[in-house]
Amino acid sequence: MAEMTEQEELQVFQLITAAGSAKSTFMEALYKAKEGKYDEAEKLFKEADGYFVEGHHAHTAMIEAEGQGVETTVRLVLAHAEDQLMSAELTKTMVEEMIALYKKLDQLKNK
């Protein structure tokens, strides 16, 4: 099997780093919302979304290169990177919904 190029390795590790940062920061946002610190939660959520977008851009660049005929080497590390990005996307969606639920619960408690 052909070895990954240095560029491919860089893109894969950018993707893993961005997705991991996104996922953990989304969770930090959720914990702040659980404490009722919604301004901090919103700030963290936006930060996490920035990481997610970085990961998505790295992934898109790899897909576009392949679409332009650049031969790529798919390795387990790339599959892991894509898994991390999908996990971050799911975390984002769930955290967004859970923060909204915490806000509603607080509104009901304060009535």
The residues annotated with a catalytic role in the active site are: 80
Q: Are 95 and 102 in contact (CB under 8 A)?
A: no
Give the HSE-up count for residue 110: Cα atoms under 13 Å, Cβ half-sphere.
7
Q: How far apart are CA 35 and CA 31, in angstroms?
A: 6
Helices (H), the chain: 6-34, 38-67, 76-109
